[in-house]
Chains A and B, each alone.
Chain A
Amino acid sequence: MKEFAYVRAGSVEEATSAYASHAGARYLGGGTNLVDLMKLGVERPAALIDVTRLPLDAVEELPDGGLRIGAMVRNSDLAAHLLVRDRYPALSQAVLAGASGQLRNAATTGGNLLQRTRCPYFQDLSKPCNKREPGSGCGARDGVHRDHAVLGHSAHCIATHPSDMAVALAALDGRVELYGPEGARRVAAADFHRLPGDRPDQDTEIRPGELVTGVVLPAAAAGLPSAYRKARDRASYAFALASVAVVLRLEDGVIGHAGLAFGALAHRPWRARRAEAALRGAAPTRAAFEHAADLELSAAQPLRDNAYKVPLARNLAVDVLSRLTDTALARRAS
């Protein structure tokens, strides 16, 4: 590992100006992804700006009924927070579906959003990879790609984004708060991660030097039935093969709003807008759920070895929509 300078930032301004004054700087959150990639030689920062002690470690209720989660809130504390569990259960479940107890104790909200793909070629310096080294080619396309994308991939990159948490944030219409040299701004969580196109080196919309300062959950989704379900190769402690986050509002016996996002199918959490449009105003029946899921997934372009993901994702979506409908109807009855 290359030597690096270390700066412990005490404030957001201190962090962004330290980043600006150190060439080759990276922010250090829990380090569970960055330290790993530094050991592999994929990341070679000249300076680490430690942001873990910034005063962004609280979950706060907003005046409008939403919730702000500070970027330094640890994944385990986010998942355990009573307001998160009570009002946005899909988010708590998604975080708990990821990694291990030890990793979640260290990982931060900001770092989780910005974790890099688990594509094995990306992590192996001896292999071509357009994400790690633009222009070098994509080892996965004709190689091992069982875990890779079926939606929105490009000739340049077929990687998926590994975060479970980000899938729930996309379905719940969360927003990512950023602070950088040009000031503060917010980006919808569903638009924060990019499709690869011809720039697979860019995972997200973040600009150089920008810091994730928090995530905001909207009042509109608070308290609605929501859930996260993940399919993986073993019962625990594995990345998703496919996953789904759903939030559902029934109105007078029909679907008023369905927020639906798939994980592990694309370079970003895949917000299923076509399925959502098909569900709006429909009766919450199994046939309607199947129709909506099929409509969304008809755009899938599986690779040689990952067509299994399409029916897997479809069944997950139908299952979670059915379960949430039962929850919503039971609540109304009681």
Chain B
Amino acid sequence: MSELLKQIGETTNNAGARLGDTILEARDLHVIFGTGVRAVDGINLKIYRGETLGVVGESGCGKSTLGRTLCMLEAPTGGSVALNGLPISDMKGSSLREARKSLQMVFQDPYSSLDPRQRAGEIIGEPLLLAGVDKKQRQSRVNELLDLVSIGASGYAKFPREFSGGQRQRIGIARSLAANPEIIICDEPVSALDVSVQAQIVNLLVSLQRKLNLTYVFISHDLAVVRQMADRVAVMYLGRIVELADADKIFAAPRHPYTAALLSAVPRMPTSSAKRKPISLPGDPPSPMHLPPGCRFQARCWLRQKLGSPDVCSAVDPMLSGTGDHQAACHFQEHVDAQRGAQNA
């Protein structure tokens, strides 16, 4: 992991949010599945042009569902999504297809993300085919894209099975770029890959972002990768964003006990202050169908324990609050940073 950090570290630096205008906005987004699972449970989020927003959280907290809903692969059961000001969550059929052209996704599974029966050239050219680009132009554009992701034109006629996991991911990235998107939602694009390959893909994404002026939503459960990629970070817990801040702020001084616990669990994470003992997260998250009243983190919250279980935690559901560039959903967010040092006494 430390090697990965070093490799990535050379190509990126957290320049802070390069705030442009809002490109994608979610308002009070809800996704409740037929099973009763509240996978996304009231999310408000603005994504600014040119930035990388990291989305982190435990498995099952709704990261993928959020990503899929932002591009309307999953219909929200409540709330709205606007892309460049257009309410894509109200659209259907061909108008939706037209409106979300500038939105693409890179997927986690390098196996199921490419049709095994198609050649790399056909896969990458599919968005062009759908956009009505003629064959000749399509071929030259695909070759261009193959070069861009360092596969090279020799990969054109090969089938997905002939590529390694990392190469497949490059092909998936090339496909997502084919139609010149403005924003790409990357759902754990490197977590299925070997660590050595992860760094290459992350570097590719970063250099593409610079070259093509892309906006990323970068979903991951790997804080180390997010720290290197992201300008801002959203921490998700049970379908909610519990902390949202500039990357350097969140890593230096988290304002939600859950984030603090996640950070302490990352081995050899270079932190600003002295070494801390890892904070344990007892138990599993509660069922996303039956949430307790009050704070959804209360059953596992070390800070609440420390503060002698104040009533407000089990009575009032904390909303995101704080300053513009650092918000957390915790009634005692100003205590988090100070208390985490003295944890696990």
A and B co-occur in one complex: no
Q: Which residues of B contact A (CB under 8 A)?
A: none
Q: Which residues of A contact B (CB under 8 A)?
A: none
